[in-house]
Chain A
Amino acid sequence: MRIGPAWMSIGELGQELAHRRLSCVEIVQATLDRTRRLDKTLNTYITVLADSALAEAKTVDAEIAKGRYRGPLHGIPVAIKDHIDTAGVRTTAGAKSRITNVPTTDAAVVRRVKQAGAVIIGKANMNKFADGESGDNPDFGRIKNPWNTQYSPGGSSSGAGAQVAAGLVPLSIGSDNGGSVRIPAALCGVVGLKPTHGRISLEGIFPRLYSLDHPGPLTRSVADCAIALQVLAGHDAEDTTTARRSVPDYAADLRSGIKGMAIGVDRKYATVGQPHVLAAFNATIDLLHRIGATIVDVTIPSYAEMLAVGNTIAACEYSVAAAHLFREHPSDFDLAKPPAASGADIKAGALVPAVDYIRASQKRRQLQRDYARSTRSVAVFIAPSYPLAPRPFGEYPKPYTADDAIRYTFPFDLLGLPAISVPCGFSPDGMPIGVQFIGRAFDEATVLRAAYAYEQATEWHTRHPVEIA
């Protein structure tokens, strides 16, 4: 059911604003009203910025009235994961111990969306310290999946996935270091993009795993994701990990289709998961073939190897990143369950020999080469986004483990490659399932093009959760 601007795409809202058929104040007021109504149940926000959002909306309307329309994000309501710095607004990283942390400057991604004229609605709830994918925050409460509020939305960008799926915002900015954008996107039935490492600045984002962290947008469509990436991508002098490569026009080839495009699949890799998840993945392969892609069997490096390398790198990097948090508030880590790191994990990470970290970094380089070699003949590679359909909060269903949960996402953080999750079906109990398109480094354009072609050939993205009473 469509309710005012709640289900409009960024593109549609932009047209309404540019042609002054809707004012930004109307859109933001409707957004805030909807948030007030639904978020009592969904708990997707830690902080809602009602007053500043309405003030920003008035400024947007005044600018557009004067003919100063800035572009497709101008006047668009946006939410920001609460470990991304916002000047003058508390930024907790999902921990009550950080509730008094009020940054004086915006993170680079916040600066960029503000410069594009977006209106910040609030700070999204998340897994504490961006660690884990349970959607269960012990400090700020469980974030609910809009498709079934008894179920987890995934994480760690849990609020982002849930608020986009519930029509609270058309764009929420999250981050991914093991699957934290793509997992909630898959489990909430929306689109989530983790770009190439270095494509979007990390400046001003709470560091968890230095070489594995990637900011990324969650939206309801691939086209909206392309619009968001256009604004977010680019070199940042404040973040030396960002690439100096030019940013292409992501809309240019978006609608070019995939006729003749070679798409890789590793059928042995894609064998772990619930039967309906794997069935949806296999149906995706068949559909891609039917709409013109050439499906090519490839063999990527083993998950066991990638996990071993990633575990060493993650253990060391998190031990450094979290040491001060642990020393100041050790109880913040008391309730951590795998894959989230406990206090014992942080202590252990400090004991890993430097030679292990260097060996793992060497192997990481070799894995990047091996992966590139094995996928040389294809434009994109596809894999499930998550091995399980959404489920009630709590333990993994047997026989699945925390390592299985990140099987399809963590490798592409390790390899630093762009990957997008788009809806590809529903489980027997009506819960969304996602598929990933993974591209070559800095080739987000092809990833978006393939994902768009698939999306447009299906109707999964047009479904919305039943309105919460």
Chain B
Amino acid sequence: MNRRDAVVSLAALIAACSPGPEDDLQVVVRELGGFELKPGEGPAVLASLKGSRYTVDIDPTIQPQSDFDPDAA
């Protein structure tokens, strides 16, 4: 599986809101993170991923925060 396919597979897994075949997730985790899944760890990884995403639409003209100088904010 190449990186693009891995992303597509990951997107499908997240969209399905279910662990899906653990083998697929293992490939994604290995390809994108360089980690190995422990047996049965898939649901915990997906639950953590869902809680870590930020998908709210935001004004695209805002510069991402990169410093804390109030004059720049």
Proximity string of chain A (292-326) to chain B, C-beta cutoff 8 Å, 1 when within and 0 when not: 00000000000000001101100110010001001
Partner of A347, one of B35, B54, B59, B73: B35
Q: Which residues of A contact B66 (CB under 8 A)?
A: 361
Partner of A345, one of B10, B48, B62: B48
Proximity string of chain B (12-52) to chain A, C-beta cutoff 8 Å, 1 when within and 0 when not: 00000000000000001100111101100100111111011
Partner of B67, one of A241, A315, A356: A241
A319 to B48, CA, bound (A): 12
Q: Are A365 and B63 touching (Cβ within 8 A)?
A: yes
Q: Are A196 and B68 touching (Cβ within 8 A)?
A: yes
Q: Which residues of B contact A442 (CB under 8 A)?
A: 69-70
If A350-B33, A363-B54 touch, does A441 touch B70 (CB 8 Å cutoff)?
Answer: yes
A389 to B6, CA, bound (A): 47
In the assembled complex, how far is the CB of residue B8 from the closest CB belonging to chain A, in whole angstroms? 12
Q: Is B2 interfacial (CB 8 A cutoff)?
A: no
Q: How many residues of B sit at the interface, in one of the four size bands? A: 35 or more
In the assembled complex, how far is the CB of residue A296 from the closest CB belonging to chain B, in whole angstroms? 19
If A311-B52, A348-B48, A363-B58 touch, does A343 touch B64 (CB 8 Å cutoff)?
Answer: no
In the assembled complex, how far is the CB of residue A329 from the closest CB belonging to chain B, in whole angstroms? 14
Q: Is A368 interfacial (CB 8 A cutoff)?
A: yes
In the assembled complex, how far is the CB of residue B41 from the closest CB belonging to chain A, in whole angstroms? 6
Name the CB-closest residue of B to A443: B70
If A344-B44, A362-B58, A362-B62 touch, does A352 touch B52 (CB 8 Å cutoff)?
Answer: yes
In the assembled complex, how far is the CB of residue B9 from the closest CB belonging to chain A, in whole angstroms? 11
Proximity string of chain A (321-342) to chain B, C-beta cutoff 8 Å, 1 when within and 0 when not: 0010011000000000000001
Q: Are A372 and B38 touching (Cβ within 8 A)?
A: no
Q: Are B35 and A362 touching (Cβ within 8 A)?
A: no
In the assembled complex, how far is the CB of residue B22 from the closest CB belonging to chain A, in whole angstroms? 13
A356 to B69, CA, bound (A): 23
Q: Are A362 and B64 touching (Cβ within 8 A)?
A: yes
Partner of B34, one of A309, A350, A368: A350
A312 to B55, CA, bound (A): 10
Partner of A351, one of B28, B38, B64: B28
In the assembled complex, how far is the CB of residue B7 from the closest CB belonging to chain A, in whole angstroms? 8
Q: Is B1 interfacial (CB 8 A cutoff)?
A: no
Name the CB-closest residue of A to B6: A351
Q: Are A440 and B32 touching (Cβ within 8 A)?
A: no
A317 to B33, CA, bound (A): 13
Q: Are B48 and A366 touching (Cβ within 8 A)?
A: no
If A353-B53, A356-B55 touch, does A348 touch B64 (CB 8 Å cutoff)?
Answer: no
A347 to B30, CA, bound (A): 9
Q: Which of A347, A356, A366 has the most CB of B within 10 A?
A: A347
Q: Which residues of A contact B29 (CB under 8 A)?
A: 347, 350-351
Q: Which residues of A contact B73 (CB under 8 A)?
A: 365, 368-369, 372, 441
Q: Residues of A with Cβ closer than 8 Å to B?
A: 196-198, 211, 241, 243, 308-309, 311-312, 315-316, 319, 323, 326-327, 342-353, 356-366, 368-369, 372, 416-417, 440-442
- Taking A362-B59, A362-B63, A365-B65 as given, write out 9 further A-B residue pairs in contact, using a Cβ cutoff of 8 Å, ordered by the A residue number: A311-B51, A315-B48, A323-B35, A343-B38, A347-B41, A351-B45, A358-B64, A362-B60, A441-B69
Would you list 30 pairs from A and B whose C-beta atoms are within 8 A, ordered by A residue? A241-B67, A243-B68, A243-B69, A308-B54, A311-B51, A312-B53, A323-B33, A323-B34, A343-B38, A344-B44, A344-B47, A345-B52, A346-B35, A347-B35, A347-B45, A347-B48, A349-B52, A350-B29, A350-B35, A351-B28, A356-B54, A359-B54, A359-B56, A362-B63, A365-B62, A365-B73, A366-B59, A369-B73, A372-B73, A416-B68
4 pairs of A and B residues whose beta carbons are closest in the complex: A350-B33, A361-B64, A416-B68, A315-B52
